[in-house]
Amino acid sequence: AMKRDLAQLLGATTPELVGQDAEKYKAVMEYVNRDKEMAEMRLQLLGEELRKMRSERDSAERSAAQMRAQHNAMQETLARARGDLQQRIDQLEAEAKVRNAMLGSATSERDA
C-alpha cells in the first residue's frame, strides 16, 4: 500500500514539475527508493524481533507455570511426609509409654 501510494504521488512528478534537472531528480528518486527499502527492511526486522520476543515470553510463561505446578506438588508431598512422620512419632511415643508402663508394672511386682 505504501509503495502504491508513493508511486501515485511520485508517478505524476517529472523533473520539470519539481524544478530540477533530470540528473538531480533521478538521484533524489534513487535516494527516496533506497530510504524506503531500508525502512521496509527495518520494519521487517522489527516484526521478526517482536515475534521472537513474544515467543520467548510465551515460553517463559509456560516454564513459570510448570515450575509453579512442580512447586505446589512438592509442597503437597512435603506436607504429606510431615504428616506421616508426625503420625509415626506419635505411634512410637505411644508404644514407648506402653513399654514404660509395662516395665514399671513388672518392676513393682518384682520388688513386692
Domain segments of the chain as ranges: 2-111
Distance (Å, whole) CA 106 – CA 36:
103
Per-residue pLDDT in tens (0 to 9) along the chain, 112 residues: 666 665 666 665 665 666 677 788 788 889 999 999 999 999 999 999 999 999 999 999 999 999 999 999 999 999 999 999 999 999 999 999 999 999 888 777 766 6
The amino acid occupying position 15 is P
What are the percentages of helix, strand and coil residues in the chain, rounded to 5?
95, 0, 5
Task: Tell me the CA distances in angstroms from 86 to 93, 94, 99, one per residue in order.
Answer: 10, 12, 20
Q: What are phi and psi of 13, to 5 degrees?
A: -90, 135
* pLDDT at 13 (0 to 100): 62
Note the pTM of the prediction, 2 decimals. 0.53
With beta carbons less than 8 A apart as the criterion, state whether 52 and 62 touch. Answer: no
